[in-house]
Amino acid sequence: MHRIKRTILVTGASSGIGQAISRQLQDNNHHVIGVSRDKSRLPDASSLFTPLTLDLNRLNNIPVWSKQIQQDFPELDAVVFAAGFGHFASLEEFSYAQIEQLMTVNFTAQVFLTRALLPALKQKSHANLIYIGSEAALQGSRKGSIYCASKFALRGFTQALRDECGKSSVRVSLINPGMVQTPFFDKLSFMPGTKDKQALQAEDIADLVNYILNAGENVAIEEITVNPVNKVILFKK
């Protein structure tokens, strides 16, 4: 495996999958720029961790914020897009504002951030863009119209971007997890099973990010879909 120390920006680093990714990257001696809407939920700064605030709902702030990041951390050569949330209901139960927010955080903000950082990443000798998608990007489901749409959009975006970056040093990867035992489900009406093998763990996804980053120089890992061995959905009372 090709292992090098990297400077990696991770969105959604304050909890769940993003937090697990951030911790494992630091354990592997990478410098992590951890991003959250609420900086108080992030660990304190250290030699391998820099906490930063970014509200993905505020699209107009992303270009300026990204320019400052590139000035402060010119060595930045990888981004993991782990921020996102779920809202599941029949379409007519969504307000227009809820539709806009879900699409913004899960898709549009990630496109904005990619657009802002991509030109500099293309100048690197080795760069990675890793997106945390969902199995919801593979098949639509009842009460998932907007969430699935956001993840289908992200998947289509990464496929096209991969082709656009094919002659550059930038490798575009998408990870589609099934149900992962994280706070993602705290405000939802359902959750994965609680027994062994009924849910993925956030560390499982962090392992995949590490696998992608450590792939050989001639290898581009395009898309990975993972699920628990036994898929069980529990509905809360």
The per-residue pLDDT string of the chain (237 residues; one tens digit each, 9 = 90 and over) reads 445 589 999 999 999 999 999 999 999 999 999 999 999 999 999 999 999 999 999 999 999 999 999 999 999 999 999 999 999 999 999 999 999 999 999 999 999 999 999 999 999 999 999 999 999 999 999 999 999 999 999 999 999 999 999 999 999 999 999 999 998 888 888 888 999 899 999 999 999 999 999 998 889 999 999 999 998 888 887
Fold of 7-235: Rossmann fold (3.40.50)
Place of tokens 């581009």: 220
Q: Are 13 and 19 in contact (CB under 8 A)?
A: yes
Predicted pLDDT at 188 = 83
Cα 19-68-23 angle, rounded to 5 deg: 15
Nearest Cα residue to 54 out of 46, 44, 64: 64
Taking Cα atoms as reference points, which of 76, 106, 84, 101 lies closest to residue 170? 76
Look up residue 36 and give its two tokens: 């959250």
Q: pTM score, two decimals?
A: 0.95
pLDDT at position 185: 86
- Residue ranges of domains in the chain: 7-235
CA atoms within a 13 Å half-sphere pointing along the CA-CB vector of 17:
29
CB–CB of 76/48 below 8 Å? Answer: no
In terms of Cα–Cα distance, which of 24, 37, 30, 33 is closest to 4?
30
Q: What is the pLDDT of residue 1?
A: 41
Residue with tokens 């863009």: 129
Structure confidence at residue 4 (pLDDT): 53
Residue type, 41: R
Fill in the amino acid letter for 233. I
